[in-house]
Amino acid sequence: MEAHNPTGVAIGQEVPKPVSAVIFDMDGLLLDTEGAYTVAQQRILDRFCRTFTWELKALMMGRQPQEGARVLLEALQLTPEEITPEQFLAERDALLRDVFPDSPLMPGAERLVRHLAAHRVPIALATGSSQSQFALKTSKHGELFGLFNRVITGDMVHRAKPDPAIFLAAAEGFPLPQPTPGSVLVFEDAPNGVEAALAAGMRVVMVPYPGMPEEISRGCGATAVFASLEDFKPEQWGLPPYTDSST
């Protein structure tokens, strides 16, 4: 997948002011947890003869766990008599508990985070995962995630993506003077997250999780879409360019 409109500027328009702060989603963007979620959820749905499709995955991505489970079960027309959101999450969490600590970093994630931190660009994390899930998933990457100026988890806000609350909360923790929403760049892998970032008045780069149908990623209104974080060029957004030899 190639990037489209990498600066988010139409021909003849004024180039927007440079990015002054960056917010990242986590699951499927920085950490490869989405595959584990898919396997675990399909295993639960097998007994109801349901299939966990990409369309369903896109509905859930970025939401708080309880809301994501509710949306999924409603979409599949599974009644509380069959399985409740609480039961679904309990089963899923039991399946995932042992695999989350081994979640690998997504391509380009470590390089970009370390680069921004080294150049003192304010960075924050805004994830739908709970605080306990965040700790579990990042347990082997603690030093890297310790570089973030602020971490907002799903249970720290009252409204989940696509509501902009989590991104607005993340931006509130940036060093003074706080950046305006229009100077904040968000990285997301999910349509719900893209919608939330745009609602917050921020620009957003979408990096769809591998395998996401193109019609889902192209139709969400992101400022730009890249196949991988490795394709992102900081200097195109007014950020310091990479100085290492990686390509």
Residue 91, domain CATH: 1.10.150.240
Residue 179 to residue 183: CA distance in whole angstroms: 6
Predicted confidence at residue 247, as pLDDT, reads 53
Q: Comparing 177 with 201, which gets the higher pLDDT? A: 201
Residue 203 to residue 223: CA distance in whole angstroms: 6
Verify whether residue 93 is a known catalytic residue: no
One domain, residues 77 and 157: no
Verify whether residue 98 is a known catalytic residue: no
What are the residue ranges of helices labelled H in the chain? 34-46, 54-60, 65-75, 85-96, 109-118, 131-137, 142-145, 165-172, 191-199, 214-218
- For the stretch 40-57, pLDDT in tens is 999 999 999 999 999 999
11 belongs to a structural domain:
no
Query: Domain total for the chain?
Result: 2
For tokens 């965040």, the residue is 134
Residue 199: give the domain boundaries.
21-32+104-237
For tokens 């009252």, the residue is 158
One domain, residues 67 and 156: no
One domain, residues 212 and 168: yes
Q: Which pTM does this prediction carry?
A: 0.84
One domain, residues 84 and 116: no
7 belongs to a structural domain:
no
Predicted confidence at residue 17, as pLDDT, reads 75
Confidence grade of residue 91 (pLDDT, cut at 50, 70, 90): very high
Residue 151 in this model has a pLDDT that exceeds 60: yes
- For the stretch 101-134, pLDDT in tens is 889 999 999 999 999 999 999 999 999 999 999 9
